[in-house]
Amino acid sequence: MNKPGLAFSLSQVRIVRGVQMLVTLILAVMTVFPLFWMISTAFKQPSDVFSMNLIPEAPTLRNFVYVFTEVNFLRYLFNTLVVSASVTLIALLFHSMSGYALARLRFPGREVIFMTMFSTFLVSLPVIIVPLFILVRTLGMLNSYAGLIIPAIFNAFGIFLLRQYYLSIPRELEEAAVIDGAGYWRIYWSLILPLSRPLLSSLAILFFLTNWNAFLWPLTITSDQELWMVQVGISAFKGQYSASWNYIMAASTIVAAPTLILFLIFQRQIMDSIKTSGLK
Amino acid sequence: MAKSVSNQVSAGLPAATGLTSRQREAIAGYVFVLPDALGLLIFIGIPMMLALALAFFDVDGFGGYRFVGIKNYQRLALDPLFWKSFWVTVTYVVWLVPALYVTGLGLALLVKRTNAFNGMMRSLFFMPQMVSLVVVALVWQVLAVDKIGMIPRLVSALGLGSVSFLGSPELALFAVVFVSVWFLMGFYMLIFLGGLQDIPGEYYEAARIDGAGPLASFWYITLPLLRPTSFFVLIVSMVAAVAGAQTFDLIYVMTRGGPANSTMMTIYYIYQQAFQYNAFGYAGALASILVLALMAITILLFVLTRGGRFNYE
């Protein structure tokens, strides 16, 4: 009985494990290094920007002050917050409503409606950007919050995940509510929504992040600087201050900070919801 | 028993409204679906159809349309820059998709075991995903600034001379591929981790008892059982590479299609034609080609995998 699995002694296994951990650690540090470099450069003096040290020699906050005072950055942040929060709230409401109906209510054409909705899954924004722009312009929504918010609400991904989730809820719960004489809106609002709170909160984080980081759509439909969102703002900022990397990195740090902080708090939830989204 | 009772009760209620319970349920269903259905129709469905129709018109900057037949397609066939963008896109896909597959799966295998250390490493690998591509493009531009940026300095310290990553037509596209891999690999790592977790541990146990080494069990257990995940990863990464907003963002901020059009991808070319030259009709024709290409890829992969099913007889 010579099992190969037992041919290694315990200490050899330990060495292999140790090497694997070391390799993983080095790769991981290399992966996040550019983000640290961004933060470090944001605190550097202009003369110091291209020094090779990660810790700035004479850290300064002047870059941040400059970004906030010379550019309308607070306005961009405010716009982005308003748009991201509105899209997230409305999308959660609409998607959970249709997810509930598609999973729990019986009506003619339900499967066709679901398949049609799902088929929009692979349509990406750059493919339809030109006709969508023309459409939104025709609707008079250029340079408006409505134009930033409404087209960003609709995506099949959220509907699909919520429908899958609602399919797994036992029918007895609903039947009890029906016996109590509850209407469908009440069943949805006070039974289904609370039951799906974990998924709704994961989706809320994902939707918020997506909209905070959105660039192409805000770029296309807002020429009015008062309505710019942060990503458009820093892209234009780069065009203006192309060599002042200390300012550009300070602006980038400000824009990236909220999403990175969200990630540090909710990393488990964010990564779990992505892990399950790949499976059908 | 319980079911018939509930049917009677709910059938009894709507008498006041004159509708049967089945009709009430159907109406509720349509009302609940309506907002999303309308929104998807208006903001994705109609633009999709318009994209195909637009190609047959000339559109001026003030919204005037003139039917021009297939003129836009004739122009497209003879436009060297379109063909250039086509090959740039193909090159990008051919490098990026396998690179993402290998790095995503590799990282997943590296941090597969569930423990505190690996949990932290997963978070670090995934972290670039949290940052917008505008920021990503800016950060890598700082690192790659000619001569004085960190990467060119490291490269010349290694004795490889002075290299311009974003300034030379030979290297710029590979720089874009590299940054894309850095940004996306954490996402595909998670997808692969999801797939790996679905493989029962007993399979590996049995293989080890039969004397299979780690390589053999990877080749004969992991890879075949990962086929559904692999299919998902290939489709999603390919579509994202050809037509994803993320690709657009990266090109827009990092290279603007340059130098010498070496990173001029089709989605960026479409945007340029529409919003810099106001050639909406021509942009529509370009977009319709992209739609056809994406459909062809999806159908091809579907046929190759026999309808996306993975049962091996």
Tell me the mean pLDDT in the region B48-54.
Answer: 85
Tell me whether A163 touches chain B (CB under 8 Å): no
Task: Look at residue B306 and tell me whether its pLDDT is greater than 50.
Answer: yes
Across the range A130-146, mean pLDDT stands at 92
Token output for B75: 């122009």
Determine the structural domain holding residue A107 and report its residue range: 64-277
Residue B143 pLDDT: 92
Q: State the smallest CA–CA distance between residue B92 and chain A in angstroms.
A: 17
A37 pLDDT band (50/70/90 cuts)?
Answer: very high
Does residue A164 lie in a domain region? yes
What is the DSSP secondary-structure string of B45-94? IHHHHHHHHHTTEEE-TTS-EEE-TTHHHHHHHT-HHHHHHHHHHHHHHH
Share of chain B above pLDDT 70, in %: 90
pLDDT at B313: 32
Query: Which tokens go with B99?
Result: 């690179």
List CB contacts (< 8 A) between A24 and chain B: 110-111, 117-118, 121
DSSP letter (8 states) at residue A7: S
- Beta carbons of A129 and B244 less than 8 angstroms apart: no
CB B265 within 8 A of CB B180: no
Rounded to an integer, what distance in angstroms lies between the CA atom of residue A75 and that of residue A64? 15
**In chain A, what residues touch B209 (CB-CB under 8 Å)?**
3, 5
Per residue in A198-249, pLDDT (tens digit) is 889 989 998 999 999 999 999 999 989 999 999 999 998 888 877 788 999 9
Cβ–Cβ contacts within 10 Å for residue A194, how many?
9
Angle at which helix B80-110 crosses helix B266-275, to 10 degrees, equals: 130
Segment A172-195 shows an average pLDDT of: 85
Max distance between CA atoms of chain A, in angstroms, equals: 79
pLDDT at B16: 53
Q: What is the dihedral of CA B113, B118, B124, B128, to 10 degrees?
A: 10
Nearest to A106 by CA among B255, B265, B30: B30
Residue A21 lies in a domain: no
Q: Which domains does chain B have, with CATH numbers?
A: 71-304 (1.10.3720.10)
Best mean pLDDT range from A69-73, B187-191, B197-201: B187-191
Contact with chain A for residue B283, Cβ under 8 A:
yes
Average pLDDT of A141-156? 94
Average pLDDT of span B198-216: 86
Q: How confident is the model at residue A148 (pLDDT cuts 50, 70, 90)?
A: very high
Percent of chain A scoring above 90 in pLDDT: 54
- Mean pLDDT computed over B222-249: 89
Segment 64-103 of chain B within 8 Å of chain A by CB: none
- B152-164 burial, b if ≥16 CB within 10 A, otherwise e? bbebeeeeeeeeb
Rounded distance between C-alpha atoms, residue B169 and residue B180, angstroms: 18
Q: Does B296 touch chain A (CB under 8 A)?
A: no
The helix/strand/coil state of B306 is coil
Residue A226 located in a structural domain = yes
- Quick one: pLDDT band at residue A39, thresholds 50, 70, 90? very high
More confident residue, B97 or A277: B97
pTM of the model: 0.88
**Confidence (pLDDT) at B145:** 86
Q: What are phi and psi of B58, to 5 degrees?
A: -100, 130
Specify if A57 maps to a domain.
Answer: no
Tokens of B38: 């309308």
Q: How many CB atoms neighbour CB A141 within 10 A?
A: 17
Query: Is pLDDT above 90 for A149?
Result: yes
pLDDT band at B10 (very low <50, low <70, confident <90, very high): very low
What mean pLDDT is reported for chain A?
A: 88
pLDDT digits (tens, 9 = 90+) for A114-127: 988 888 877 889 98
The CATH number for A244's domain is 1.10.3720.10
CA distance A197 to A179: 24
Task: Return d(Cα B107, Cα B182) in angstroms, integer.
Answer: 12
Cα–chain center distance at A270: 9
- How confident is the model at residue B19, as a pLDDT? 80
**B206 contacts chain A (CB < 8 A):** no
Name residues 110-139 of chain B within 8 A of A (Cβ).
110-111, 117-118, 120-128, 130-135, 138-139
Does residue A7 fall inside a structural domain? no
- Whether B155 contacts chain A with CB within 8 A: no
Instruction: For residue B259, say if its preceding peptide bond is cis, omega within 30 degrees of 0.
Output: yes
Measured CA to CA, the distance from residue B161 to residue B171 in angstroms comes to 14
Residue A184 lies in a domain: yes
pLDDT of A170 > 80? The answer is yes
CA distance A241 to A243: 6
**Are A60 and B5 within 8 A, CB to CB?**
no
Q: What's the whole-number average pLDDT of chain B? A: 86
Domain count, chain A: 1
Q: How far apart are CA B127 and CA A178, in angstroms?
A: 46
Helix (H, G, I), strand (E, B) or coil at B177: helix
